[in-house]
């Protein structure tokens, strides 16, 4: 059974040129993690088994199971032969709402997104966020450099995604890692919520080491995180949903370049450029 530190050390054979030699390698853990609310198993995710309390809290917030951290009364991580359970004590009104949601999903024949049977249910409408400033080019550059220094598990294993909260200067305030990009973001959201006002600033942005799908936009919107920067591409739906949420969205963040996708800011930048020309 994998440990709870997120990685294991294994004996491997490493080929160099024409020869093989024994070596030690650090590999990322990936285990089944069940989120159990008031004794009801709701979902099983394949995840890296560290910071699971952050993961459970962030998932509960980003999926709308709770509205605020205070609606979770307690958590316990229980190890089983086949995986891990995070046993979550949920406020009664939240648990009743969760059971109602599960009853509505029962009996559906489709195998779409989380049992959704219509396009409206599958995609939904993102929450509106408090407007956030567009991160500066300098801040994005600095955050990219800093993130590499903070991703200890990625340095060891080369197999995990990272999600970071960065301030207006690009300083990394908090990082969470996981084999799953959604999980890494949920862990970050949970850690931010757990820290309360200490990290909840208006001029912060989230930096992720993956593409920006619409789910990533929805999760940030649910946590009122108004600026998302991805090192890879966004999807067209993610851009559409970011604009609906009033969120800043940047993709292809690389040293020396990035692409701004939100309508409001591209229009603002064009108008600003035109005014300089005039």
| Residue 191 vs residues 28, 166, 239, 267: alpha-carbon distances, Å | 21, 13, 26, 34
94 belongs to the catalytic site: no
The rounded radius of gyration (Å) of the Cα atoms in the chain is: 20
Report in angstroms the alpha-carbon separations of 44 from 52, 74, 152, 184, 200.
13, 19, 26, 15, 29
Q: Could you give the 3-state DSSP secondary structure of residue 37?
A: strand
Instruction: Tell me the CA end-to-end span of the chain in Å, nearest whole number.
Output: 67
- Strands 227-230 and 248-254 turn out to be parallel
Catalytic residue among 111, 114, 166, 220: 111
CA distance 33 to 180: 12
Which residues are known to be catalytic?
111
């Amino acid at each position: 059974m994998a440990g709870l530190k997120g990685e294991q050390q294994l004996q491997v054979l490493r080929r160099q040129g024409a020869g093989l030699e024994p070596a030690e390698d650090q590999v990322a853990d990936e285990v089944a993690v069940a989120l159990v609310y008031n004794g009801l198993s709701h979902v099983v995710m394949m995840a890296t088994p560290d910071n699971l309390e952050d993961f459970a809290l962030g998932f509960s917030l980003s999926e709308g199971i709770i509205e605020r951290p205070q609606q979770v009364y307690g958590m316990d991580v229980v190890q089983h032969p086949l995986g891990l359970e995070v046993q979550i004590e949920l406020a009664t009104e939240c648990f009743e709402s969760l059971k109602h949601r599960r009853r509505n999903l029962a009996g559906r024949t489709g195998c779409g997104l989380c049992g959704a049977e219509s396009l409206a249910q599958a995609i939904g409408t993102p929450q509106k966020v408090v407007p956030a400033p567009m991160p500066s080019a300098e801040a994005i550059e600095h955050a990219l450099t800093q993130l590499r220094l903070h991703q200890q598990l990625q340095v060891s294993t080369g197999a995990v995604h990272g999600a970071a909260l960065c301030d207006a200067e690009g300083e990394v305030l908090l990082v969470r890692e996981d084999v799953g990009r959604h999980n890494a973001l949920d862990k970050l959201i949970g850690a931010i919520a757990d820290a309360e006002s200490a990290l909840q600033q208006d001029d912060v942005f989230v930096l992720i080491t993956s593409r920006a799908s619409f789910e990533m936009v929805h999760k940030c919107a649910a946590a009122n995180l108004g600026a998302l920067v991805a090192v890879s591409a966004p999807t067209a739906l993610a851009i559409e949903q970011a604009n609906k949420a009033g969120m800043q969205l940047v993709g292809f963040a690389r040293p020396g370049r990035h692409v701004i996708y939100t309508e409001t800011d591209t229009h603002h930048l064009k108008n600003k450029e035109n005014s300089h020309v005039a």
